[in-house]
Amino acid sequence: MQKLEVFGGKKLKGQINISGSKNASLPILAATILSKKKIYLSNLPRVKDIETMINLLKSIGSNIKLTKNKKSLLIQNDKKLKLYAPYKLVKTMRAGILVLGPMLARFNRAIVSLPGGCSIGTRPIDIHLNCLSKLGVKYKILDGYVYASAKKGLIGARIKFPKVSVGATENLIIAATMAKGISVFSNCAIEPEIKDLVKFLNKIGAKIKWIGKRTVKIYGVREFKENKFNIIFDRIEAGTYMIAAAITNGNILINGADHKIIKTEIELLKKIGVKIIIYKNKIRVIGSENIKNTKILTAPYPGFPTDLQAQIMVLLSKANGLSIINEKIFENRFMHCGELNRMGAKIKTKGNKAYIQGNTKFKSAELMATDLRASVCLVLAALAAKGKSKINRIYHLDRGYEQIEKKLKKVGAKINRIS
């Protein structure tokens, strides 16, 4: 099994190019099932989850031609598709459930394995299923699979999501693009990746309009058109490297990130003492020895993202006093705290709150990654620790970070992948 070896204690300096967003690419790839026409996608990140989604699409019969660098592809779903997403492909990636909406929309039926993904909470799909049933879907769960059908086709409906859910909003928006009549969904998640999905759907012929901050109106269509789409940048990757610059007291220019989309993260970093200079599509981040303690609440966009919670915790471990993180999205997302404590951090958790003592001088250690964002927080801590750290189980990391060791090497980190 591959590991990362990190020799920490170096200030990182230089430029990092941000890849396309994993969490925008996944629903967009799933949504290609809607159309018979050619679709050309660019700026896909080269990460394991995207490979898994492409394999899932190939397994149902999609015709996919990847470019040599695997960052763009041409996809066409004009042949007969197998409306079945098997456990072996969905188990590692929760976003596998996103094929349910488009399969039902176009073919009125689907069999999809209950999803896997990070072990950061129970992560049910009840909202996806309950809301799909309001569009006319009947389903049963048998042996770990969702068997769903809508004999008369999907019918537009007015739905208020009981809770803000990224995945459920995506599945329902994709499904409603082909439903008979009009749908109005309120209390939608409005993450930039969802805005990107809607932009993509409209580009291929859907009729979707945002009519309120969290309300979307969808006029069902039956036909789509050929088009091209360039995926938005990965705001979580951008945030992670911004924290890497801050934690190593370095100076990094983050290329390809729109500051307007990550306003909350930028404001927070500035507030705790990190220097940030904004340019068009670039952000310079300059670290500081003096990080101030603070309180953070993770929340749906535009709140502070849960996907950056583990990374910011590493930086707050170096702050000059007690910080508190209140994790409001997932109930089991503090598994990294134990490993950070083994590196010298002083973090206690109680329920969904983490109390971070601060003034930590990280020590190198051999570490175990537990989920995608937890793995990257260990890389950040290892970059800040003097000496050699080893991070095991980096397959979690490869699910969502494109060539992380290459990008970090480019800014001066001593980091190697070993088998």
Positions marked active-site: 118
Total interface residues for ligand UD1 by CB under 6 A: 21
Q: Does 371 bind ligand UD1 (CB under 6 A)?
A: no
* In the complex, least distance from residue 234 CB atom to ligand UD1, rounded to whole angstroms: 11
* In the complex, least distance from residue 319 CB atom to ligand UD1, rounded to whole angstroms: 24
Q: Does 26 bind ligand UD1 (CB under 6 A)?
A: yes
Single out the residue of 38, 71, 128, 399 in contact with ligand UD1 (rule: CB under 6 A).
128
Single out the residue of 29, 168, 178, 243 in contact with ligand UD1 (rule: CB under 6 A).
168
Q: Given the rule CB under 6 A, which of 12-20, 118-126, 286-294, 378-386 is the region that contacts ligand UD1?
A: 118-126
Binding mask 173-192 for ligand UD1 (x = CB under 6 A): ----------------x---
Q: Which is nearer to ligand UD1, 166 or 216 (CB)?
A: 166
**Interatomic CA distance for residues 177 and 183, integer angstroms:** 9
Sheet with 207-212, strands from edge to edge, namely 158-160, 182-186, 215-219, 207-212
Q: Is 391 helix (H, G, I), strand (E, B) or coil?
A: strand
- In this structure, what is the dihedral angle of CA atoms 18, 19, 20, 24, given to the nearest 10 degrees? -80
Q: Does 399 bind ligand UD1 (CB under 6 A)?
A: no
Q: Does 10 bind ligand UD1 (CB under 6 A)?
A: no
Q: Given the rule CB under 6 A, which of 125-133, 243-251, 281-289, 409-417 is the region that contacts ligand UD1?
A: 125-133
- Check whether the bond before 162 is cis (ω within 30° of 0): no
Residue nearest to ligand UD1 according to CB distances in the complex? 167
Q: Does 166 bind ligand UD1 (CB under 6 A)?
A: yes
* In the complex, least distance from residue 188 CB atom to ligand UD1, rounded to whole angstroms: 11
Q: Which is nearer to ligand UD1, 268 or 291 (CB)?
A: 268
**Interatomic CA distance for residues 67 and 114, integer angstroms:** 31
Two tokens, residue 116: 């896997």
* In the complex, least distance from residue 124 CB atom to ligand UD1, rounded to whole angstroms: 4
Instruction: Report angle CA 261, 265, 268 to the nearest 5 degrees.
Output: 140
Q: Does 212 bind ligand UD1 (CB under 6 A)?
A: no
Query: Strand 282-286 to strand 295-297: parallel, antiparallel, or no bridges (unpaired)?
Result: unpaired
**Interatomic CA distance for residues 378 and 367, integer angstroms:** 7
Q: Given the rule CB under 6 A, which of 6-14, 37-45, 162-170, 334-342 is the region that contacts ligand UD1?
A: 162-170
Q: Does 123 bind ligand UD1 (CB under 6 A)?
A: yes
DSSP assignment of 62-85 equals: -EEEE-TTSS-EEEE--S----EE
Residues 47-76 that bind ligand UD1 (CB under 6 A): none
Single out the residue of 19, 23, 32, 108 in contact with ligand UD1 (rule: CB under 6 A).
23
* In the complex, least distance from residue 165 CB atom to ligand UD1, rounded to whole angstroms: 3
Q: Which is nearer to ligand UD1, 306 or 311 (CB)?
A: 306
Q: Does 101 bind ligand UD1 (CB under 6 A)?
A: no
**DSSP code, position 205:** T
**Interatomic CA distance for residues 348 and 355, integer angstroms:** 5
Binding mask 308-347 for ligand UD1 (x = CB under 6 A): ---------------------xx-----------------
Q: Given the rule CB under 6 A, which of 38-46, 161-169, 238-246, 343-351 is the region that contacts ligand UD1?
A: 161-169
DSSP assignment of 111-136 equals: EEEPP---SSS----HHHHHHHHHTT
* In the complex, least distance from residue 150 CB atom to ligand UD1, rounded to whole angstroms: 19
* In the complex, least distance from residue 395 CB atom to ligand UD1, rounded to whole angstroms: 17
Q: Which residues contact 406 (CB under 8 A, 6 or more apart)?
A: none
Q: Which is nearer to ligand UD1, 234 or 339 (CB)?
A: 234
Two tokens, residue 258: 């729109």
Residue whose token pair is 């592809």: 73
Smallest CA-to-CA distance from 24 within 178, 139, 159, 166 is with 166
* In the complex, least distance from residue 22 CB atom to ligand UD1, rounded to whole angstroms: 7
Two tokens, residue 271: 């507030």
**Interatomic CA distance for residues 93 and 232, integer angstroms:** 20
DSSP assignment of 250-294 equals: -EEEEET--TTTTHHHHHHHHHTT-EEEEETTEEEEE--S-PPP-
Binding site for ligand UD1 (CB under 6 A): 23, 26, 94-95, 121, 123-128, 163, 165-168, 189, 306-307, 329-330
